[in-house]
Amino acid sequence: MEPSIAAEELYPIAVLIDELKHEDVTLRLNAIRRLSTIALALGSERTRTELIPFLEDSLDDEDEVLTVLAEELGKFVPYVGGSEYANVLLIPLETFAGVEEPFVREKAVESLDKVCVEMSREQVEEHFMPLIKRLTSAEWFTNKVSVTALFPTVYEKVSDESKASLRQLYSQLVYDDAPMVRRAAATHLTLLIPHIERELIVSEIVPWFMFLAQDDQDSVRLLTIDILIAIAESLGAERAREQLFDQLKKLFADKSWRVRYMVADRFEALAVAVSAGDEVVLKEGFVPAMVKLLKDSEAEVRTVIAKQVPGFCQLVDAETVIQEIMPGIEELVDDQSQHVRAALATKISGLAPILGKEDTIKYLLPMFLQMLKDEFPEVRLNIICKLEQVNKVIGIDLLSQSLLPAITQLAQDKQWRVRLAIIEYIPLLASQLGVEFFDTQLRDLYMAWLRDSVYSIREAASENLRNLTKVFGVEWAQSTIMPKVIEAGENPNYLYRMTSIAAATTLAGEVTVDVIKNSIVPFLDGMVGDPIPNIRFTVARSYESVSLLARAKAAAEEERSAAESMISDIILPSLEKLKTDEDVDVRFYADKSLKAIG
C-alpha cells in the first residue's frame, strides 16, 4: 500500500518546497531531511514526474546539501511507487556518483546499492547495467571510483552473459591509468571475489591480482593483501599457493614499508588462508617472514607484527616458536620505540598457554618481568592488565616479587592518568593475587588513593571499592575497608572527608542491610554536624541513596524491619535537622532526600 499523508498536514508542504529553494543552507538541509513528507503529499506519480526532476535541476548546490540528498534518495523507493519504479532514482544518483566531493559520492553509491537491491533482475539488466557501463566509461576518474563499489551487488542479480560483461568492465578499472581508480578497484575486488566462480577466479581474477601486486604505487600494492586472502578463501589454500605464493613472498619483502605494514597487520589471516595448517608451508614460508618483520627497519611494521605474534604462534609448534621466533620477540622487549614495546606488552602474555609452564618460566617470564620495569608507563600497564594469562600457566608466586614494585611505581606516577589506569586494574589484580596478598601489600596503597590530590583518582578509588567487595566478599569489606573509610572521615581536609562519604555510599551497594545499619549509617550520622556545608549536603544526598538501597536489599521480614527502623530512628531525624540548616544547599538536598525516602 502506498504511503499517505493527512489533509491537515498539506499546509507545511508549500513551506518545505520554499525551503528547498532557500539560499540558507540550514533551511535546505532541514527541508531535504523532510523530503518524504513532500513525497507523501504529492503521491508516487507526482513524486516521479515532478519532485525527482525538480531535485535533478537543483544539483548545483552545496556539498553538504548534496550529501544529505544523496542519502535520502536511497530511502525513496516506497515514495516513487515501489520497486517497479525504482529506476527513476538512478538518474540523480548517477550524477551524484560523479561529483568531486568524496562524501557525496559515498552516499550516492550507498543509495544506488540500496536501490539495486530493491530492483528485479529485469530492471537491473535494463536500467542498472547501462548505468554501470556509463560510469565505467566516463572520462572523469570520480565516476570510475564510485562504480567499483556497485559491482558486487549488481553481479548477484544479472544473467551469466551480463556477469561476463561486468567482469570485462571491471577489468578496465583494474588496468586504468589513474592510480585512484586502481586503488578503488583493488579495494572492492575483495567484495566481488566471493561471488565469482572458482575457475573464473583462476583465469581472470588472479591475473588482476598479479598486475595490481606489481603496481608502481604502494597505495595500490598494499590493498592486494586482502585480495590474496579473499582468493585463497575462494580457491582453497593449495590452489592459492600454486597461483600466488611466489608473489606473496615478494610482498613480504616489499620495498615500501606501507606494504610491509599491511602484510604484518594481516599476517595471521594470511597464514591461515594460504597454509590451511600445512606445517611445511608455515615453517618454510611464514616463519622466516615473521622473523624478518620482527626485525623490520620501520617501527610501525614492528608494532603491528608484535600484535600478530600469539595468533600466528598458535599455528606452529612450540619448538619452532622457541628456536626461531623467540629471539626476535626478545629484541622487541628492548626495542627503541616505546610504541613497539607497548604493542608487544598487550600480546606477549598470550604466548604462555602456547609454551606451557616450564618454557614460560624459562623464556617468557624474564621478558615479562623486564617489561614490568619499563620506563614507559603504558608498557607496564599493558603487562599488568594481561596478567591473568600468565598466572593461569605458572601461578602468581613467581610473579609477585616483581609485580609489586611495578604496581607501586605506577600507583605513584606523576601523571594522574597513569594512576587512574592502574586503579581500574586493581580489582582484576585482586582476583588473581588473592585477599592475603592484597591486604598485606596493596591495601594501604589503595586507601592512599582516597586521599589523592586529583578528584578523578579519589572518585575512581571510591567506585572501585564496590568491585573489590565483589571479589573478596562483604565480611572482608566490613572488617578491612570500612574501618579505613571511617578513619578517612576524620581527616582535617574536607575534600578527603567528602571522599570517605562517597566511598561509604558506594560500599552500601554491595554490603548487607546489617552492615549498612551498623557501620555506614552511624558513620554518616557522625558527619551531620560537620562545619563544612559541602560535607553536610553530601551526607543529605547519601542518606537518600543508602535508604533506598537498604529497602531494596531487605528481602526477609527481619531485614525489612531493621531497614525501616534505621530510616525512622536515625536517617529521618538527621534529615529533619539538616532541613533547618543555615546553608541553602544543605536545606535543598535534605528536603529532596526526605521526599525521596517518603
Asked if 400 and 362 count as a contact pair (C-beta separation under 8 A), the reply is: no
Give the separation between CA 445 and CA 484, rounded to whole angstroms.
12
Which residue type occupies 132? I
- Structure confidence at residue 5 (pLDDT): 45
Residue 565 CB partners (closer than 8 Å, separation 6+): none
Asked whether the CA dihedral 291, 293, 299, 302 is positive or negative, the reply is: negative
Separation CA 183–CA 521 (nearest Å) = 67
82 touches 40 (CB < 8 A): no
Rounded to an integer, what distance in angstroms lies between the CA atom of residue 524 and that of residue 570?
10
Residues 6+ apart with CB under 8 A from 391: 399, 432
Q: Do 324 and 362 contact (CB within 8 A), yes or no?
A: no
Helix-, strand-, coil-residue percentages of the chain, each rounded to 5: 80, 0, 20
Asked if 499 and 536 touch (Cβ cutoff 8 Å), the reply is no
* Separation between Cα atoms, residue 406 and residue 274, nearest integer Å: 42
- Which pLDDT score, from 0 to 100, does residue 10 have? 43
111 neighbors 70 (Cβ within 8 angstroms) = yes
Residue 548 burial (CB count, 10 A): 16
Angle (nearest 5°) at CA 283 between 282 and 285? 65
| Secondary structure class of 576 (helix, strand, coil) | helix
Pick from 44, 37, 40, 15: nearest CA to 28: 15
- pLDDT tens for the chain, 598 residues: list them: 455 444 444 444 555 566 666 666 777 777 778 788 788 888 888 888 888 888 777 655 678 888 888 888 888 889 888 888 898 888 888 888 888 888 989 999 999 999 999 898 999 999 999 999 999 998 889 999 999 999 999 998 899 999 999 999 999 999 999 999 999 999 999 999 999 988 899 999 999 999 999 999 999 999 999 999 999 999 888 888 888 888 999 999 999 999 999 999 999 999 999 988 888 899 989 999 999 999 999 999 999 999 999 999 999 999 999 999 999 999 999 999 999 999 999 999 889 889 888 888 888 888 887 887 788 888 887 887 777 777 777 766 666 666 677 777 777 778 887 788 778 777 877 777 778 877 877 777 778 888 888 888 888 888 888 888 888 888 888 888 888 888 888 888 888 888 899 989 988 888 888 889 888 999 999 899 999 999 999 999 999 999 998 888 887 777 888 888 898 999 999 999 999 999 999 999 999 999 998 7
Question: Alpha-carbon distance 552 to 61, whole Å?
Answer: 59
DSSP code for 585:
H
Among 39, 100, 21, 25, which residue's Cα sits nearest to residue 68? 25
Nearest alpha-carbon partner for 461 in 514, 409, 425 = 425
Residue 67 — φ and ψ, nearest 5°?
-60, -45
Q: Within 10 A of 557 (CB to CB), how many other CB atoms are there? A: 8
Contact between 124 and 149 (Cβ < 8 Å): no
pLDDT of 300 reads 96
Task: Identify the CA nearest to 517 among candidates 481, 461, 558.
Answer: 558
Report the C-alpha gap between 388 and 500 in whole angstroms: 31
The count of residues in the chain is: 598
Q: What is the pLDDT of residue 20?
A: 61
pLDDT at 19: 61
Closest CA to 294 of 250, 326, 272: 326
As given in the structure block, the three cell numbers for residue 496 are 578527603
Long-range contacts, 260-263 (Cβ 8 Å, 24+):
260/293, 260/296, 260/298, 260/301, 261/222, 261/298, 261/300, 261/301, 261/304, 262/222, 262/223, 262/225, 263/225, 263/289, 263/293
